[in-house]
Structure 1
Amino acid sequence: MLPVVLVHGIRVSATMWDPVAARIGGPVAAPDLPGHGSRRGEPFTMEGAASAVADAIDALGGRAFVAGLSLGGYVGIAAAGRFPGRVAGLAALGCTSNSRLTTVPYRFAASLAARNPARADRVSARLLRGLLPGPAGAAMVAGGLSCEVLPQVVEAVTGYDHLAALAAYPGRVWLVNGARDPLRANERDFLRACRNGRLILLPRRGHLGALAAPGPLARLLEDLRDLSCDRPDGDAGAPVPAGDRPKGAIGES
């Protein structure tokens, strides 16, 4: 069975994925990115983050399905572009914006957080628990928060050419967005950049909403992982048969 590597979001850590990882069958790894969790204090770069994903893949045997949310999705795209032989398929969730309309507020929030990271961590913890009540919210903060890294992350993400990375990757890509996620602003540009891409919209979900239903999210990722094994990379761009469509998308009845 193809292993799965799960990549966490900004300022949180690998524990974000614990409720989902526990429900995925087969080998699963969720590395901490530089500057986050067990690697807090390390400088963050997209190259270093992509290498962290590659190291996790190597520890699982050298080839894996990669799924990332928000920052984790951007990092997954970078890893696929840099290490296409290691990434068997990619699910990039909540990471299809390169618009100034979203970048400017993130830069402003990052600069505020950097002035008092401890206070920003406390505020973030309350917000995350409020947005995701119960185990999902607890998992978001269990590994600690790292708001001091926000300015580095924002500059790294906005300075990276994710469309070029997608164009360089021959494998299958699923862009998964909540229908209410403001970061889906440029999803069609991202989709056009993919050599073998598909777009999945999750009804009634926002940016982090998929994590509120760890069981359905785990099943969706398992479906996409299994589809990644269905045809070799050389068939990139071939249409996906109706029977290949993932089942039980989150938020669908």
Structure 2
Amino acid sequence: MSFPLVFVHGIRLSGTSWSVVREQLGAHPSAAVDLPGHGARRGERFTLAAAIDAVAEAVDNVGGHAVVVGHSLGGYVSIAAAARHPERVAGLVVAGATCVPNRGFTAPFTLMHRVLSRQSDGGERASGRLFDSVLPPRVAEAIKHGGIATEVIPDVVRESRHFDPLTNLAEYPGPLWLINGSRDHFRTHERRFLAASTDGRLLITPRAGHYFPLAQPTEFAQCVLDISYAVAGHHSSR
């Protein structure tokens, strides 16, 4: 027995960013959401409440009970969704999202938005070249195909500054995996996140950075697949 996997993408990206990871899962059931303001929902206002609804709908679409896997912004959204709907979230995987989103954390995103917004295409080509340089070609192409929504940054920053991930983690009773690359700049508060959780584990991937889930899709897919089976064992033993 195992649970379906629901993937939640990072800021500016879309569900297409998970395409290669999902391919590695074979026949294992999975879904990938587009958060408000991203992908097929580009142009919508991003709110945390609407993002939580998007995750809940994706879980319902795969049977009503799933392991939710979030990276970066998707990690924070997944924490919020698990706190709001613990009966839907059988297990939670949070990758690259263990830094409390205070003003210092969000300021670089505001600066990035200002710089990229001055370009005629909103910085889409420049962002695409960055992803080309740090990710496998198929992953970078999938990201660019889904669109890179720089314009959503102000909404995300506003919502993030009012979000308390530690309190939300404490409200989720299920099993949690925090997965960080050893070189990820978003792991500053990982021990506080672990301490706030009811049933948490911390996994550090050596020599990996913030984009570990997308940069090493085969390894990450195997990791979350193993977690899906572990969560099933956790539930069957209760």
Task: Name the amino acid aligned to 1:93.
Answer: A
CA 1:108–1:100: 2 relative to 1, 3 Å:
same
Which of structures 1 and 2 has the larger relative contact order (alpha carbons within 8 angstroms, sep 6+)?
A: 2
Equivalent in the alignment of 1:246: none
Mapped partners of 1:50, 1:117: distance in 2: 32
Partners in 2 of 1:26 and 1:67 — Cα distance? 14
- Decide whether aligned partners of structure 1 residues 218 and 79 sit closer, same or farther in structure 2, where only a CA change above 3 A counts: same
Q: Which of 23, 26, 29 is 1:27 aligned to?
A: 29
Relative distance call for 1:2 and 1:101 in structure 2 (3 A) is: same
Shifted more, 86-95 versus 205-214: the winner is 205-214
1:16 match: 17
Task: Normalising by structure 1, report the TM-score.
Answer: 0.88
- Please say if residues 67 and 228 of structure 2, whose CA atoms lie closer than 8 Å, have aligned partners that are also in contact: yes
CA contact (8 A) 1:183 1:207 kept: yes
More displaced 10-residue stretch of structure 1: 8-17 or 20-29: 20-29
Task: Please tell me whether the aligned partners of residues 68 and 93 of structure 2 are also in contact (alpha carbons under 8 angstroms).
Answer: yes
Query: Paired residues, what number?
Result: 235
CA distance in 2, matches of 1:150, 1:121: 13
Q: 1:38-187 maps to which residues of 2 (within 5 A)?
A: 38-98=40-100, 100-116=103-119, 118-187=121-190
Tell me by how many angstroms 1:80 deviates.
Answer: 0.4
Aligned-pair distance for 1:229? 1.4
2:122/2:150 contact within 8 Å kept: no
SS at match of 2:35: coil
60 and 117 in structure 1: CA distance in 2 versus 1, 3 angstrom threshold: farther
Q: Deviations over 1:75-119 (max 9, x none)?
A: 111110110000000100000112544322222223434455723
CA contact under 8 A between 1:178 and 1:205: conserved in structure 2? yes
Within the candidate set 214, 219, 229, 1:216 is matched to: 219
Instruction: Could you list the structure 1 runs, at least 4 aligned residues long, displaced by more than 3 angstroms after superposition.
Output: 111-117, 232-235
Structure 2 counterpart SS, 1:118: coil
2:192 to 189, 212, 218: 189
Comparing 147-156 and 96-105, the one that deviates more: 96-105
Q: 1:171 to 1:135 in 2, by over 3 A?
A: same
Which secondary structure does the structure 2 equivalent of 1:205 belong to? coil
Q: 2:8 is matched with which residue?
A: 7
What are the ranges of 5 or more consecutive residues in structure 1 without an aligned counterpart?
236-253
Matched, 1:199 2:228: no
TM normalised by structure 2 equals 0.93
Give the superposed CA RMSD: 1.8
Distance 1:156 1:117, change over 3 A: farther
Identity across the alignment (%): 45
